[in-house]
Amino acid sequence: MNRQKMESGFSLIEIMVTMFVMSVGLLGLAKMESFSMRMNHSAYLRTQGALLAQNMIARIRANQAGVKSLAYNGLANPARIANCLSKTGCNGTEMAQNDAFDWQILLPAILPSGQGTICIDSTPADGADASNAACDGVGSLYAAKLWWNDARDGSGALHRFVTSFSP
């Protein structure tokens, strides 16, 4: 009888310890899932940035007249050219303006706080944002530089994607 009294309540303590261990494990699992979702979203934005850069590179390569006149180099305030959307067409410089205008509309529509520039640059891996892209105009290689805010609440620093290409 004495032995039975000492063992009473032992199962309840085991269950409480098990519940505590399980709850800590589930909290860790929830944290891992949250981290995984953030990283997945970040990878999605990097992919979209690469696709947007390739979109503009394809436009540039299709307009060799604009490339020869250096019309794509550092277009700060591109404008919509109405003739480029009609049968009469437009020249290479106007097409470059139109391409850059379309691209500048796509960037913030797809990337949060999205911005970008196309320029001739011998040191493409620099620049803080589109207004300070640090393009030196040296050489023959173009750089597509994109920036966006990776944080969902918009509070983080800008992330950069840069690719160099020869038109």
Q: Supply the pTM of this predicted model.
A: 0.78
pLDDT in tens, the chain (167 residues): 555 556 666 688 889 999 999 999 999 999 999 889 888 988 999 999 999 999 999 999 999 999 999 999 988 788 888 888 776 788 999 999 999 999 999 999 999 999 999 999 888 888 777 778 888 888 889 999 999 998 766 677 888 999 999 98
For tokens 């920036």, the residue is 147
